[in-house]
Amino acid sequence: MTDTTDRTAELADLAARFPSLHAPQRWAWGGIDAQFSAELPPDELITNIHLVGFSDGKVVLCRDIRGHWFLPGGTREEAESIESCLVRELREEAGARLAGPPAWIGAHRCVTDSPVPYRPWQPHPEKAWLWGWAEVVVDTEPTNPADGEQVVEVRAVPAAEAQHLLVRGRDAWWGELVALAVESRSKAG
């Protein structure tokens, strides 16, 4: 088998084991059609970065003032690197810092219906949301900038509880994303 054939088989296996995550999605809140793949997009398409952060083996979640649980991450600023965005978003939303390098597990490739990009410097109409995992340390309160989510609680919970909290009232793919991160972390040793 060639490397290309091996990679194709690996991607097909992931899609079969995590079908909700890999299913085409419509994110009505943003007029976005999204499709997840473990194949990483080019840097210039990545507009959002999100992380399954592990602290002492537990998944770090954030809860906003509406009671909505989410994984830390957010939108890249103009000319911001992926790593700088990740560092900033972890501090803003989780009061956390990286304790090891991130491992990128995939991305949602997105196409928006909007006639203009969300931010003027972003690619349009195609873009990507990058997903990964990393070891993190929660060592302060979230900075909660005025233009971001207002986080009222940060909690490290077992993966099964994180899946439950993330899926509650939302699509099942959130739980599969956490499961993929747990699997990737386990393989990394």
Tell me if 157 sits within 8 A of 138, measured CB to CB: no
Six token digits for residue 179: 């499961």
Q: Which bin fits 67, alpha (ψ -120 to 50), beta or left (φ > 0)?
A: left
What are the tens digits of pLDDT across the range 98-133? 999 999 999 999 999 999 999 999 999 999 999 999
Percent of the chain with pLDDT over 90: 92
Residue 149: pLDDT above 80? Answer: yes
**Averaged confidence pLDDT in the chain:** 96
Question: For residue 118, what pLDDT is reported?
Answer: 93
Cα distances (angstroms) measured from residue 163 to each of 17, 61, 121, 132, 144: 16, 10, 33, 15, 24
Q: What are phi and psi of 180, to 5 degrees?
A: -65, -40
In the chain, where the domains are located: 3-188
Section 29-40 average pLDDT? 96
pLDDT score for 74: 96
Q: What is the pLDDT of residue 148?
A: 87
Element (H, E) at 132: strand 126-138
What are the φ/ψ torsions at residue 34 (nearest 5 degrees)?
-130, 145
Distance CA 141, CA 143 (A): 6
pLDDT tens column, 39-88: 999 999 999 999 999 999 999 999 999 999 999 999 999 999 999 999 99
What is the fold, at CATH topology level, of the domain defined by 3-188? Answer: Nucleoside Triphosphate Pyrophosphohydrolase (3.90.79)
Mean pLDDT of 24-28: 96
pLDDT at 1: 58
Please report how many Cα atoms fall inside a 13 Å half-sphere around the Cα of residue 121, on the Cβ side.
Answer: 10
Query: pLDDT category, 189, cuts 50, 70, 90?
Result: confident
Question: What's the confidence (pLDDT) of residue 9?
Answer: 94
Q: Which pTM value belongs to this model?
A: 0.95
| CA distances from residue 182 to 102, 118, 134, 135, 158 in whole angstroms, order as listed | 13, 31, 10, 11, 11
> Could you please report the per-residue DSSP string of 97-115?
EESS--EEEEEEEEEE--S
Residue with token string 């997903």: 131
Specify the pairing of strand 46-55 against strand 126-138: parallel
